[in-house]
Amino acid sequence: MSIVITLTVRYFEQYIRAGGLLMKRLFSKKAIKPALKYPDHESERFKPFLDFLLGKKVYLALSGGGLPLVCHIAILRFIETYNIPIEKIFGVSAGAVIGGFFAAGMSASQLREAALSLKNPDELFGRGSKHLLFRALKAELQSLFTKEGAINPSIYDGKNLDKYIEQTFIEFFGKAPLFRDLRQYYAAVAFNIGAGNELDTGESEKAVFSPVKTPAVSVKDAIIASMSIPGVLPPKKIGGSYYVDGGIAEHLPIITAFEDWLEEKKRGRKKLVIIAVDLGYLGEKLRNKTEIKIHDMLTYAFNVRGKMITQLSLLRAHKPNEGSFVVLLKPRCYDIGLTEFEKIPGALDASYRRILKQLEGENFLKETEEDIEKARRMLGINEKI
């Protein structure tokens, strides 16, 4: 019977790729995640890594990164191929989008098809999405005529993006789910900036939306909150507070995953492996053959800050002697602009090849170990912590 089911699933997948739109919707709602198979000789490439995972809790942490979010699909494809049991998924910004869809039941192949279907950035960001000066001027003019108390200081209004995420959930899940509706544990990291009025005297802080902490919150709203880049997308209001991009506090949610593991009772606690996929800045020096523009310097400064937070997270969470490991992966897709949709097909293929290369053989901890050494140099930390 299992052979028949497998062959049937593969048949439907082929039919979907051929363009059967009606069949695609019927298939998608069942949220089937086909277990892809590689030849036995191919599996040997990754046997050290797969053996390393045995007997341990496996968490998945997906970073922010803008449009390169499509590169997160590479690790999901690998996870499905080798049936790796992921206990919990943590996402920030771009990672919150992919992680949320995957937790709701979309397979890696379905996510890939959804990514390839994106042709025009106007679909997500509104008309004139590539004309940032025009959009910024429009946002400034709108703010002059917006009622007092409203918070919407952004280049894009976010309405198209909100609608797209909601419709995707409805197509693949049957509805826009709440956290308590998810079958896979998933958490989205955002940053709480308060209620936006003078009566709110509390401090801004990291916020984690999850089935445990916020079961009645819409997953779609949490994703929007997590990816609301200040100045690019408006803050998202949930309950009585406004939230912005979680990357302000944690570009790669290693610490959020690590602290979740620490909350378990120490006795009987399994060892932990966090598969952490970083789409962000890799530490290169700022280079420009002509002249460095203002926005280049601002972007560089923001990226360096994010890199330092990630490095501190690595130093804290990768503790082999205490049973906690971080397998850091870098698809290296950071050169894709927010509206450069034409680069998506190439990014999908290149990121998968890079993930395979980083996980093969005995060197699957290489990126982690190299980044920890870089962290000590960059942060001036000599002793091991």
Bridge partners of residue 242, in order along the sequence: 194, 237
**Biggest CA-to-CA distance, the chain:** 65
Q: What is the pTM of this model?
A: 0.80
Given a contact cutoff of 8 angstroms between Cβ atoms, the answer to whether 186 and 219 are in contact is yes
Closest CA to 173 of 212, 223, 208: 223
Given a contact cutoff of 8 angstroms between Cβ atoms, the answer to whether 295 and 81 are in contact is no
Spatial separation of the C-alpha atoms in residues 52 and 43, rounded to whole Å: 14
Per-residue DSSP letter, 76: H
Bridge partners of residue 74, in order along the sequence: none
pLDDT tens digit at each of 385 positions of the chain: 333 334 333 433 433 333 333 333 323 333 333 434 444 556 789 999 999 999 999 999 999 887 788 999 999 999 999 999 999 999 999 999 999 999 999 999 999 998 888 776 566 555 544 444 444 555 555 555 555 545 556 566 678 888 889 999 998 888 999 999 998 999 999 999 987 665 555 778 999 999 999 999 999 999 999 998 887 788 999 998 999 999 889 999 999 999 999 998 776 789 999 999 998 766 566 665 456 555 456 556 667 777 888 888 999 999 999 999 999 999 877 667 767 788 888 989 999 999 999 999 999 999 999 989 888 887 777 655 5
- Bridge pairing between strands 241-245 and 185-194: antiparallel
